[in-house]
Amino acid sequence: MNYQLVINEVYNTFRNSTNKGKIANYIPELKKVDANKFGIGLVTISGDSFGAGDYKDTFSIQSISKVFALTLALKIVGNKLWKRVGVEPSGDPFNSLVQLEFEKGIPRNPLINAGALVLCDILISKLKNPKDEFLAFVQKLGNNNNINYNLNVVASEKKYGFKNAAHVNLMKSFGNIKNNIDDVLDFYYHICSIEMSCEALSKAFLLYANRGVLPYTGEEIISLSITKRINATVQLCGLYDEAGTFSFKVGLPGKSGVGGGIVAIHPGKYCITVWSPRLNKKGNSYKGINALELFTTKTELSIF
């Protein structure tokens, strides 16, 4: 398969297409990004890297970091995690509070905001220096010491994070948050503020395509069983109330973030990230979904 050729075709199809969608504006710092940025980066489990456009530029990975948080939390507490968070798709937006009260403070899944806040609570309880250790973990997955937090994004989100605060407070009232509310929010905003390029993100996701093993060092980070559970969760919940459409169009597990990135995993083959900051009404990259759909259509490769 000539991945570079297909990436070029996909890139050229969309680079000048009418740029629908809107950049996330509820986190003011994210509005500073050039809305017309567009990059596609693919890395294979055998270490080959392909890309087009702005695939080496870094962007705010936002909710994509929830997958890293899930991985680290499962590595530390194992299947006990599922007592505090479910595994069903929510069918609601990423920041919806609606189900949380009915379901007594147990989030539907770890990839909606409520679920990720529980992951943060667990990591704060288990790690001595949560922010340093989380960053070191992501750097290790990506074999890349340049990955970092963006403290301006942290401050910006903290200032306007009323809904996330509502989530933590509600879950605390049900006993599903153990730590101080401000500490949980601070850690959550840090993990969302991580910046990576399409290329770096695809590389850091390779363990999910490679049975839980880092292809470049051979180190097993998580078991095959945990890898299966993470990929299944990403497939069903990674794009929130658009996860069905994404599966239908793309046919790969994928995770989005309001920074405009979407990363998709092809087990046994590669990871691919598309970045385009203009979002559709569900908060997912408009061009990202279309580009990934064309990519799997042209390569005729999906998990189905």
Question: Binding residues for ligand DON, per CB under 6 A?
Answer: 62-63, 94-95, 113, 157, 164, 192, 256-258, 283-284
Nearer to ligand DON, 44 or 62 (CB): 62
Both structure tokens of 227: 């890898």
Nearer to ligand DON, 119 or 214 (CB): 119
Of all residues in this chain, which one has the CB nearest to ligand DON in the complex? 63
What letter represents residue 196's amino acid? M
**Smallest distance from the beta carbon of 263 to ligand DON, in angstroms?**
12
Nearer to ligand DON, 157 or 195 (CB): 157
Q: Are 114 and 160 in contact (CB under 8 A)?
A: no
What percent helix, strand, coil does the chain show, rounded to 5? 50, 10, 35
**Smallest distance from the beta carbon of 260 to ligand DON, in angstroms?**
9
Nearer to ligand DON, 138 or 258 (CB): 258
**Smallest distance from the beta carbon of 189 to ligand DON, in angstroms?**
7
**Smallest distance from the beta carbon of 283 to ligand DON, in angstroms?**
4
Q: Are 268 and 45 in contact (CB under 8 A)?
A: yes
**Smallest distance from the beta carbon of 164 to ligand DON, in angstroms?**
5
**Smallest distance from the beta carbon of 185 to ligand DON, in angstroms?**
9
Burial (CB count <10 Å: 0-12, 13-18, 19+), residue 129: exposed
SS3 74: helix
Nearer to ligand DON, 7 or 154 (CB): 154
Report which of 183, 177, 190, 184 is spatially closest to residue 107, judged by C-alpha positions.
177
Nearer to ligand DON, 154 or 294 (CB): 154
Nearer to ligand DON, 191 or 207 (CB): 191
SS3 273: strand
What is the number of other CB atoms lying within 10 angstroms of the CB of residue 97?
A: 14
Task: Label residues 214-234 b or e (16+ Cβ within 10 Å = b).
Answer: bbeeeeebbeeebbebbbebb
SS3 141: helix
d(CA 67, CA 140): 15
**Smallest distance from the beta carbon of 198 to ligand DON, in angstroms?**
16
